[in-house]
Amino acid sequence: MNPADLGLPVDVPSTALFTDQYELTMLRAALRAGTAERRSVFEVFTRRLPEGRRYGVVAGTGRVLDAVENFRFDSGVIGFLRERGIVDDETLDWLAAYRFSGDIWGYPEGQVYFPGSPVLRVEGSFAECVLLETVILSILNHDSAIAAAASRMSSAAGDRPLIEMGARRTHELAAVAAARAAYVGGFTTTSDLAAGFRYGIPTVGTSAHAFTLLHDTERDAFRAQVDSLGRGTTLLVDTYDVAEAVRTAVEVAGAELGAVRIDSGDLLLVAHRVRQQLDALGAKDTRIIVTSDLDEYAIASLAAAPVDAYGVGTQLVTGSGHPTCSMVYKLVARAESADPKAPLVPVAKKSSGGKTSLGGRKWAARRPDPYGVAEAEVVGTGPVPAELADHQLLVQLVKGGEVVAREPLDVVRDRHIAARAGLPLSATQLSRGEPVLPTEYLVGRSGS
């Protein structure tokens, strides 16, 4: 069963209005000027990583492919645009027939990136490409920010599993995307059932403090949960007194108790005390799960604690202080005319304030050192040097308007783990620093 075929509430009838008005007004003017059909190349990149971050993570590519396929101006959307007078009838007629027919190349989802990396390249007519700017950036900026935070957290956690539990801390649809991005970044499960249904992510969850407070005693609450969910369940032990709750939990569930969860207090101290108590009570295999406003720094601080898993919410779904990646979508080359055979001309914005960019259709490769560890991100135009041919990063995602690179989420997750492992060891340091790889530029002819 493909959940996407069931018309879930996490989907929308069309992504066409997930855009800014100026995309349509640019289209209108380009149609009038006769330049709308000029062959064009747009690229997505960021000029810098968030402060202190050593690498970025490409996430949301699969959702971008869905959005491009679903970018349709149906009668309701056309009616809205006509009623508002946003564009003229000629433009509305063009939009009614819109289907993206170009090509899209990009870094495979889960791959890491650096300043200047052309993480996505969209090619086609100016008209069909420019309309996709906002929705592509919306998805990539959000999902990549969450995945980067998740990657840092999973690196800090080591072999200990991470539970995504941030649905209540963000918009209900953003929560589903965040759970997906967290899984790409290394999380193992989510509490969000919509994410489990839509993307097949494993789901977990047992009880909150309200369930304990509902019952006359903590023992009654534990008994009710064990009777319903079995001895392997996770009991929340910090509603009243932790030591007393742990004792009661083992009395109710026995040594087969699956786990206890701690959601408050000095987690380092409490985890040690709970481990000692569980062992003394004979529950040596009972796991300890900690939650409570964790981020990558808190997770790292618990590395020496007897913790078996972490649950993370707010800091994850807000990108751990960096909720966007500041990616941009820029025209880097366009044809001299609407003739399909017209050569491409590199174009680039020139301005002060650090917003300059490099024109021309880009390729990207990650150069390894003699030991196989990445040492530089090389971005260039024109021919790819022979020594970098086997290290290129972009793959084709859409060909002639058809998606050609959908893949299971587990493949994406494994790719990220491998990509991160191929970086210098300093990439996973949580201390502030510059990007772990420098970006080198090789500028040649732009190609056609």
Report the length, in residues, of the chain. Answer: 448
Report the pLDDT value the prediction gives residue 10, as an integer from 0 to 100: 55
pLDDT at 443 over 90: no
Q: What is the domain count for the chain?
A: 2
pLDDT per position as a tens digit, 124-148 = 999 999 999 999 999 999 999 999 9
Same domain, 347 and 276: no
Do 328 and 433 share a domain, yes or no? yes
Cβ–Cβ < 8 Å for 187, 163: yes
Q: What is the CATH number of the domain that holds 102?
A: 3.20.140.10
Q: Residue 354's pLDDT is what?
A: 66
pLDDT, mean of residues 235-245 = 98
Each residue's pLDDT tens digit, 260-313: 999 999 999 999 999 999 999 999 999 999 999 999 999 999 999 999 999 999
Confidence bin at 12 (pLDDT 50/70/90): low
pLDDT at residue number 99: 96
Same domain, 343 and 263: no
How many angstroms separate the CA atoms of 421 and 117, rounded? 19
- Do residues 128 and 32 both lie within one domain? yes
**Assigned domain for 44 exists:** yes
Which of these three, 242, 271, 292, is where a domain ends? 292
Tell me the mean pLDDT in the region 195-216.
97
| pTM for the whole structure | 0.94
Residue 161 counted as domain residue: no
Indicate if the pLDDT at residue 154 is higher than 50: yes
What's the CA dihedral at 87, 89, 91, 92 to 10 degrees?
90
Domain that holds residue 40: 13-146+322-442
Domain boundary among the residues 277, 292, 307 is at 292
Residue-by-residue DSSP string for 274-333: HHHHHHHTT-TT-EEEE-SS--HHHHHHTTTS---EEEE-HHHHTGGG------EEEEEE
* pLDDT for the residue 5: 54
CA distance 111 to 374: 13
140 and 65, same structural domain? yes
Domain boundary among 270, 292, 314: 292
Judge whether 85 lies within some domain: yes
The domain that holds 253 is classified in CATH as 3.20.20.70
Q: What is the mean pLDDT of the chain?
A: 95
- Encode pLDDT of 335-351 as tens digits: 999 998 999 999 998 87
282 and 234 both lie in a single domain: yes
Residue 160 lies in a domain: no
Q: Let me know if residue 389 belongs to a domain.
A: yes
- pLDDT at position 399 over 50: yes
Q: How far apart are CA 369 and CA 75, in angstroms?
A: 55
Whether 47 is in a domain gets the answer: yes
Q: Would residue 273 count as lying in a domain? A: yes
Distance of alpha carbon 207 from alpha carbon 399, whole angstroms: 47
Across the range 175-201, mean pLDDT stands at 97
Whether residue 49 sits in one domain with residue 101? yes
**Co-location of 287 and 343 in the same domain:** no
Q: Is there a single domain that holds both residue 285 and residue 346?
A: no
> How many beta carbons lie within 10 A of that of residue 295, not counting itself?
20
What is the per-residue pLDDT across 30-43, written as a single tens digit (0 to 9) for each? 999 999 999 999 99
Residue 95 lies in a domain: yes
Are 341 and 420 found together in one domain?
Answer: yes
